[in-house]
Amino acid sequence: MKPYQPATLAAQGLGWIDEATKAIVPPLHVSTTYIRDADNQYRSGYSYGRNGSPAFAQPEALLTQLECGAAALTFASGMAAASAVFLALKPGDHVVASQVMYWALRKWLQGAVKEWGVSVDFVDGSSTDAIAAAVIPGKTKLIWMETPANPLWSITDIAAAAEIAHRSEARLAIDSTVATPVLTRPLELGADIVMHSATKYLNGHSDVIAGALVTFRQDEFWKRITEVRINNGAILGTFEAWLLQRGLRTLYLRVERCCCSAQAIAEHFVGHPRVAAVLYPGLPDHPNHAIAARQMQGGFGGMLSICVKGGAQAAIDTAARTRLWKRATSLGGVESLVEHRASVEGPGTPAPPELLRLSVGIEDVADLIDDLEEALAGT
């Protein structure tokens, strides 16, 4: 039989049915502990909730399939997932990371990570040459890239970065939060690990903080990451796991809608008299459009940024005038959000002061455009 398409697997949550009751929606698995067999074994595979739970097993199995990986782990947040990868490194290891990335992770990498002897060099992640030049053979153990990267939406050529990593026996990890498996499957392009803030599109309803990693192979490094999760205890709550599984079932519909609307909004505001620039990889003049077109299928994501003429205050005032776009941080939910990114990231941010980040939701796109037009008109 022909294998089902990912959208089908997601919609049906892998077709799970409860054998005892025939329910098609999974129950909430809240138990923290599991019965040991009389001969002292744990044949169910579960012993204690921090080590693993049927609550996580469902979204992990689905994400493994959607990302075409060998295994997945969910975490208490995207930061817990990302930091587990770095905590699995050893003192003396070197990392090459993209300059443009989720700001809190960059801050953590610039600070705490150094203290236990892991060094990190930040490079332009959209330049394959810059990534290659930063690798120290024998010492670089990890290349960490975010693509599309917050908040400029620059794109890393994943296949080229994977080749560079593997030439030096390093691993490539991709923060694919913005692309989601709907648009890009980094493991198929050669990455070793894919990371998601599942808080964003995977859950999609701004009501769960969660993270996930999916691995191409279950090797020693993956074992170390699994141990980090068990020992640091940064596990997903059982209700959050249940909500995440429910959110994943509409992932394909939501992402398709967000992409279509983001493309329409980006095209609408190009050349607008009050907009200095529109940053969106789906625009032909985006510096990385060609790579994005090659490695993203079905759209360029639901995230874009606009630079408002008149500087930081004009951008902040524009956000203040929106009625439909909600002034809030985060991204990937069904409701559209607007944020003055430099205010969040502070000194050292790659975000220009006049930049507004837009997370496009699933509302009617004409309403979104009208609201932004009105907000800009007051500048």
Q: Is the dihedral of CA 279, 81, 70, 238 positive or negative?
A: negative
- Catalytic residue list contains 50: yes
Of 212 and 375, nearer to ligand PLP (C-beta) is: 212
Residue closer to ligand PLP, measured from CB, 53 or 197: 197
Per rule CB under 6 A, is residue 77 in the interface with ligand PLP?
yes
Whether 102 is catalytic is: yes
CB of 110 to ligand PLP, least distance (A): 16
Quick one: which of 280, 269, 379, 270 has its CA closest to 322? 379
150 vs 318, beta carbon nearer ligand PLP = 150
| Positions of E strands within 264-344 | 275-279, 303-308, 326-327, 337-340
Measured distance CA(249)–CA(237) in Å, rounded: 19
Q: Which is nearer to ligand PLP, 178 or 235 (CB)?
A: 178
| 106, 171, 185, 200: the active-site residue | 200
Contact flag: residue 197 with ligand PLP (CB under 6 A): yes
Q: Does 102 bind ligand PLP (CB under 6 A)?
A: yes
Return the amino acid letter for 354: E
Which residues in 328-347 contact ligand PLP (CB under 6 A)?
Answer: 330-331
Nearest-5° angle of CA 42, CA 45, CA 46?
Answer: 80
**Subset of residues 229 to 258 that bind ligand PLP, contact rule: CB under 6 A:** none
Assess contact for 28 and 15: CB atoms under 8 A: no
Binding of residue 79 to ligand PLP (CB under 6 A): yes
Residue 121 annotated to the active site: no
Minimum CB–partner distance for residue 359 and ligand PLP (Å): 10
User: Is the CB of 78 or the CB of 376 nearer to ligand PLP?
Assistant: 78
Q: Which is nearer to ligand PLP, 144 or 252 (CB)?
A: 144
Angle at 107 between CA 83 and CA 301, to 5 degrees: 75
Q: Does 209 bind ligand PLP (CB under 6 A)?
A: yes
Cα within 13 Å of Cα(188), Cβ side: 13
CB 187 within 8 A of CB 194: yes
Preceding amide of 59 cis, omega within 30: no
Residues from 6 through 45 that contact ligand PLP (CB under 6 A) = none
Q: Work out how close the CB of 3 gets to ligand PLP at its nearest, in angstroms, rounded to a whole number.
A: 30
Which positions from 148 through 187 interact with ligand PLP, judged by CB under 6 A?
150, 175, 177-178
Rule CB under 6 A: choose which of 146, 192, 345, 354 binds ligand PLP. 146
Q: Choosing from 34, 50, 93, 124, which is the catalytic residue?
A: 50
Contact call for residue 78 and ligand PLP (CB under 6 A) = yes
Burial class (CB in 10 A: 0-12, 13-18, 19+), 4: middle
**Residue closer to ligand PLP, measured from CB, 154 or 371:** 154
46 is catalytic: no
Collapsed DSSP state (helix, strand, coil) of residue 378: coil
The residue number whose beta carbon is nearest to ligand PLP equals 78
Query: Which ranges in 323-364 belong to alpha helices (H)?
Result: 341-345
Neighbours of 284 (CB within 10 A): 8
Q: How far is the CB of 232 from ligand PLP (least distance, A)?
A: 14
Question: 249 by DSSP, 3-state: which?
Answer: coil
Please tell me which residue in 102, 201, 252, 280 is annotated as part of the active site.
102
**Among candidate residues 131, 175, 154, the one with its CA nearest the CA of residue 291:** 154
3-state helix, strand, coil in the chain (%, to 5): 40, 15, 45
CB of 160 to ligand PLP, least distance (A): 21
Phi-psi region of 252 (alpha: psi -120 to 50; beta: other; left: phi over 0): alpha
| Binding range to ligand PLP, per CB under 6 A, among 47-55, 78-86, 254-262, 361-369 | 78-86
Instruction: Give strand pairing partners of 340.
Output: 356
Q: Which residues bind ligand PLP (CB under 6 A)?
A: 77-79, 82, 102, 105, 146, 150, 175, 177-178, 197, 199, 209, 211, 330-331
**Catalytically annotated residues:** 50, 102, 175, 200
